[in-house]
């Protein structure tokens, strides 16, 4: 068998009867030798082909095969360059980091409806480093979950850089949260507390950038300060530090549902050269297009709007019924707890169900009741089909943890004593205003404020 391979790849679209429009990578190797040229079909249909995510865009890794079957079992590594997406003339669409909600199952859903980039929920970097439980609960992904940016809350360079190294093989970039306005975050030195510490934020960015090379992205999500000159100064410092792009929620930390400060967003836009993703006050695709046009930002991020309508970026005015069917299918494959499945359906059905039925649905207490309700009202139930690409992959952090332990400090993997992780990520304990499901409309502010 010849030793030289000619590698070619391209992305095509396929309309799946359940998941709708999906992109797949087709791969062909031209083998120089007596095996000739062999075409291997769609990776999603090949049960014996393994795909491993990597931050390297052009990196391919293959084992020399001794047979066609072994060749089909080759491991391919390929990924997406986020900066190429943001340099496109088209608006880049982004799903916001939402505590408890922008997890793997929901990311899988919105990717079927024209969402280009997804963020994980905000993860506490120190807990992620010290606790295997935190790592397993807070970060899950699969081979179709890209482009993916992992957002961390951190208050020192080492924690952010070490956490970034752990997730780097499984995502396309990391983001530092400088926008969470909740009291617990401010008290512990996270979120908007960092807006007044530009040199600390700069040092955190530089530390990650020094350890992980391009095309892996390092970004920051901020809110605006009352003194816009300070916000401009912060963004210019971050640009010089080598940040890949910025996400700007164009409200101050004390603002909630007030209109965004478009003029101040544009002022920052004109002060720096790096790409900006605009965030705030987007409830429809038309809103997103208008914000992109008015701000001249490269991308638009949506939180509340996409939570109540996962098909927002496809132009749907309300949640289409196909989203409900897809959500049932996805959560039947990707392990998802009842509370998450139920809450997402509450949001999706908010503008579909009449008031009395919403109140009834909001107070269902188990998965069986939810599935019975959906089946009786919409004649829907989870559909079974081959799903190896949707199942979460196993993330192996052991080598990096060992290296970090030797180079920096020891992480206590077995003694899980991080109270902040329990307080901030269990149930709804980090919501200062507990969501009242007795009401037909949920209070979403604390869910997406980060």
81-114 residue pLDDT tens: 899 999 999 999 999 999 999 999 999 999 999 9
Dump pLDDT digits (tens) for 157-166. Answer: 999 999 999 9
Mean pLDDT of the chain: 80
Please tell me the predicted confidence (pLDDT) of residue 96: 98
State percent of the chain over pLDDT 70. Answer: 72
Average pLDDT over residues 288-302: 98
The phi, psi pair for 327, rounded to 5°, reads: -65, -40
Q: How far is CA 318 from its chain centroid?
A: 22
In the predicted structure, residue 385 carries a pLDDT above the cut 50: yes
Query: Measured between alpha carbons, how far is residue 282 from residues 160, 220, 237, 250 in Å?
Result: 30, 20, 28, 11
Q: By the 8 A CB rule, do 147 and 172 touch?
A: yes
Average pLDDT over residues 427-436: 37
Dump pLDDT digits (tens) for 38-64. Answer: 223 323 332 223 333 433 333 333 333
pLDDT, greater one: 207 or 444: 207
Average pLDDT over residues 217-221: 98
Please tell me the predicted confidence (pLDDT) of residue 384: 76
SS3 category, 169: helix
The phi, psi pair for 40, rounded to 5°, reads: -105, 130
Catalytic residues: 180
Query: Is the domain covering 80-450 a CATH 3.30.70.980 domain?
Result: no
Please tell me the predicted confidence (pLDDT) of residue 387: 73
Please tell me the predicted confidence (pLDDT) of residue 151: 98
Average pLDDT over residues 361-380: 96
Could you state, in order of their start, the residue ranges of all structural domains in the chain? Answer: 5-77, 80-450
Confidence band, pLDDT 50/70/90 cuts, at residue 325: very high
Please tell me the predicted confidence (pLDDT) of residue 388: 78
Please tell me the predicted confidence (pLDDT) of residue 216: 97
Please tell me the predicted confidence (pLDDT) of residue 400: 87
pLDDT, greater one: 428 or 332: 332
Instruction: Count Cα neighbours of 383 within 13 Å in the Cβ-side half-sphere.
Output: 12
State percent of the chain over pLDDT 90. Answer: 68
Average pLDDT over residues 308-331: 97
Please tell me the predicted confidence (pLDDT) of residue 61: 31
Please tell me the predicted confidence (pLDDT) of residue 34: 31
Under DSSP, the state recorded for 350 is T
Please tell me the predicted confidence (pLDDT) of residue 11: 37
Q: Tokens 């000159």 appear where? A: 229
Residue 149 pairs in a beta bridge with: 119, 173
Please tell me the predicted confidence (pLDDT) of residue 9: 34
pLDDT, greater one: 143 or 434: 143
């Amino acid at each position: 068998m010849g030793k030289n391979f000619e590698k070619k790849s391209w992305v095509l679209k396929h309309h799946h009867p359940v998941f709708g429009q999906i992109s797949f990578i087709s791969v062909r190797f031209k083998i120089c030798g007596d095996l000739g040229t062999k075409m291997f079909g769609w990776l999603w249909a090949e049960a014996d082909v393994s795909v491993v995510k990597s931050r390297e865009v052009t990196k391919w890794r293959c084992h020399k095969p001794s047979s066609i079957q072994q060749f089909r079992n080759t491991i391919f590594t390929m990924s997406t360059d986020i900066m190429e997406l943001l340099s496109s003339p088209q608006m880049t669409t982004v799903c916001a980091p939402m505590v408890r909600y922008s997890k793997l199952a929901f990311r899988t859903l919105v990717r079927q409806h024209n969402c280009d980039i997804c963020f994980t929920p905000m993860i506490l970097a120190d807990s992620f480093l010290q606790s295997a439980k935190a790592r397993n609960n807070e970060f899950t992904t699969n081979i179709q979950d890209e482009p993916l940016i992992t957002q961390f809350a951190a208050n020192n360079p080492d924690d952010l850089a070490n956490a970034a190294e752990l997730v780097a093989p499984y995502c396309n970039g990391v983001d530092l949260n400088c926008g969470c306005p909740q009291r617990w975050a401010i008290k512990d030195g996270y979120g908007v507390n960092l807006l007044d510490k530009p040199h600390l934020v700069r040092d955190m960015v530089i530390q990650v950038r020094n350890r992980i090379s391009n095309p892996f992205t390092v970004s920051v999500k901020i809110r605006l300060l009352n003194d816009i000159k300070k916000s401009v100064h912060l963004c210019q410092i971050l640009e010089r530090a080598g940040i890949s792009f910025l996400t700007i929620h164009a409200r101050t930390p004390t603002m909630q549902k007030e209109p965004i400060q478009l003029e101040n967003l544009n002022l920052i836009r004109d002060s720096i050269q790096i790409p900006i993703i605009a965030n705030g006050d987007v409830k429809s695709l038309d809103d997103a297009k208008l914000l992109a046009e008015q701000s001249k930002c490269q991308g638009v991020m949506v939180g509340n709007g996409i939570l109540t309508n996962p098909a927002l970026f496809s132009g749907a005015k309300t949640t289409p019924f196909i989203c409900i069917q897809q959500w049932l299918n996805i959560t039947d494959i990707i392990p998802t707890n009842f509370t998450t499945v139920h809450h997402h359906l509450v949001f999706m059905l908010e503008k579909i169900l009449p008031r009395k039925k919403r109140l009834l649905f909001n107070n269902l207490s188990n998965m069986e009741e939810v599935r019975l309700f959906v089946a009786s009202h919409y004649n829907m139930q989870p559909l079974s089909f081959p799903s190896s690409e949707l199942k979460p992959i196993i993330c192996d952090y052991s080598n990096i943890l060992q290296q970090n332990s030797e180079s920096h400090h020891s992480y206590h993997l077995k003694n899980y004593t991080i109270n902040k992780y329990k307080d901030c990520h269990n149930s709804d304990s980090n919501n200062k205003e507990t969501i009242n499901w007795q009401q037909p409309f949920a209070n979403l502010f604390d869910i997406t404020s980060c």
